[in-house]
């Protein structure tokens, strides 16, 4: 009897399961955990041992997943990025959806929740210091309405973090996640042959390989404790335009002054990889300090910047 009980794996719910990062995380966890995969975009098949659902968190039926499974931990990676859908849908999904998910986590006594946020919440402005730590104010919302859902999600996570400490919430704010199959703005840019740059501006940037990010999430799950907010970044930096050079991208300078000029150009061309609301991130640096995460979780990234950029170089043949 004791032997049978020993074999039961703890169950983890992973949202955004159709995404590249979630699949890397699931691949690392499936041996020791029973993973339940959820995505609102598609039902992904990840093997017979991984129950998979296509459902929106806001739908009533979502709660049935908690009823059917004995979930002990939730990894919430299912965040619509700013280039997806419109503001209202993103707000519904990222803020209201996360609110519901956290309520269910409380109702079903989940004791570990990881929420994937983004370094974008700090906002890009000319007066940013470098090595921003987790206590810095979140200024993204003052830049653009398009990032409000990201900041609101953080506020929500903070409320639950203090209201329900037993949920053991860990919020991760990674720098630019890049690498194979990643389809965010930065990865799309580095994959492109031609990349816009704001003339005269080449802000410092940080990049983390998708496999390192997956390892970071797994490190949090394995540690169990350490609730709180953590930046996730490597201790290596590069200027944006040099990153493009190293990925063999051809730089297309965009007129940068007055600030309205690049905004108009971006709006006119409707570039998915150079959206108007992210323009400031191509102008001013947002360099985060990942020291707290690295020391708390004993995390050491494996991929160097050169290895990251060589993947994009090879893509271009």
Partner 1 sequence: MKLRPLLRRIFVSEELERQYTNIAKPVGTLGYDPWGLNVDTNIVAMALFKPIFEKYFRVETHGIENIPASGPALIVANHSGQLPIDGVLIAYALATRKDSPRIPRAMIERFFPTVPYIGNLLNQMGAVLGDPVNCAKMLGREEAIIVFPEGVRGSGKLYRDRYQLKRFGNGFMHLAMQHNAPIIPVGVVGCEETIPAIANIAPLAKMLGIPYAPIAVPFIFPAKVILNFGQPLHFEPGEITEDEVTKRVDKVKTEVSRLIDKGLHERKRVF
What residues line the site for partner 1 (CB under 8 A)?
A: 126-132, 198-202, 204, 235-239, 242, 245-246, 256-257, 284-285, 287, 289, 304-306
Q: Which is nearer to partner 1, 214 or 287 (CB)?
A: 287
Closer residue to partner 1 in complex, CB, 179/285: 285
Backbone angles phi, psi at 212, to 5 degrees: -65, -40
Residue with tokens 């093997």: 47
Phi, psi (degrees; rounded to nearest 5) at 292: -60, -45
Whichever of 135 and 298 has its CB closer to partner 1, that residue is 135
Q: Which of 233, 60, 81, 242 is nearest to 150 (CA)?
A: 81
Tell me how far, at minimum, the Cβ of 136 lies from partner 1, in Å: 8
* CA–CA distances in Å: residue 118 to residues 42, 80, 258, 269: 23, 12, 28, 26
Contact between 76 and 98 (Cβ < 8 Å)? yes
Q: Compute the least distance from the CB of residue 306 to partner 1, in Å.
A: 7
User: Nearer Cβ to partner 1, position 166 or 307?
Assistant: 307
Q: Which is nearer to partner 1, 68 or 302 (CB)?
A: 302
Smallest gap, in angstroms, from Cβ of residue 134 to partner 1? 13
Closest approach of partner 1 to the CB of residue 210, in Å = 19
Minimal distance, residue 20 CB to partner 1, in Å: 24
Strands (E), 226-305: 228-232, 238-239, 250-254
CA gap 206, 90 in Å, rounded: 25
């Amino acid at each position: 009897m004791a032997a049978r009980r020993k074999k039961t794996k703890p169950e983890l719910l992973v949202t955004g399961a159709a995404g590249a990062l979630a699949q890397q995380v699931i691949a690392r966890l499936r041996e020791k955990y029973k993973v339940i995969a959820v995505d609102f975009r598609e039902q992904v098949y990840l093997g017979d041992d991984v129950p998979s659902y296509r459902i929106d968190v806001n739908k009533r039926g979502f709660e049935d997943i908690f009823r059917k499974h004995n979930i002990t931990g939730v990894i919430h990676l299912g965040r619509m990025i700013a280039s997806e859908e419109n503001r209202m849908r993103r707000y519904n999904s990222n803020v209201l959806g996360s609110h519901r998910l956290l309520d269910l986590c409380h109702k079903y006594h989940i004791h570990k929740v990881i929420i994937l946020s983004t370094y974008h919440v700090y906002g890009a402005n000319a007066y940013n210091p470098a090595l921003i730590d987790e206590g810095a104010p979140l200024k993204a919302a003052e830049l653009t309405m398009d990032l409000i859902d990201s900041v609101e999600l953080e506020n929500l996570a903070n409320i639950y973090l203090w209201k329900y400490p037993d949920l053991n919430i860990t919020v991760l704010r990674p720098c630019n996640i890049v690498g194979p199959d990643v389809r965010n703005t930065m990865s799309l840019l580095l994959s492109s042959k031609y990349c816009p740059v704001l003339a005269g501006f080449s802000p410092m940037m940080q990049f983390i390989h998708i496999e390192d990010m997956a390892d970071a999430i797994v490190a949090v799950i394995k540690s169990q404790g350490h609730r709180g907010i953590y930046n996730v970044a490597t201790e290596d930096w590069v200027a944006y335009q040099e990153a493009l050079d190293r990925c063999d991208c051809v730089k297309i300078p965009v007129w940068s002054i007055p600030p309205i000029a690049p905004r108009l150009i971006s709006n006119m061309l409707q570039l998915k990889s150079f959206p108007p609301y992210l323009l400031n991130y191509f102008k001013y640096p947002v360099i985060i300090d990942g020291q707290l995460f690295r020391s708390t979780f004993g995390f050491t990234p494996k991929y160097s910047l050169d290895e990251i950029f060589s993947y994009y170089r090879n893509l271009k043949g």
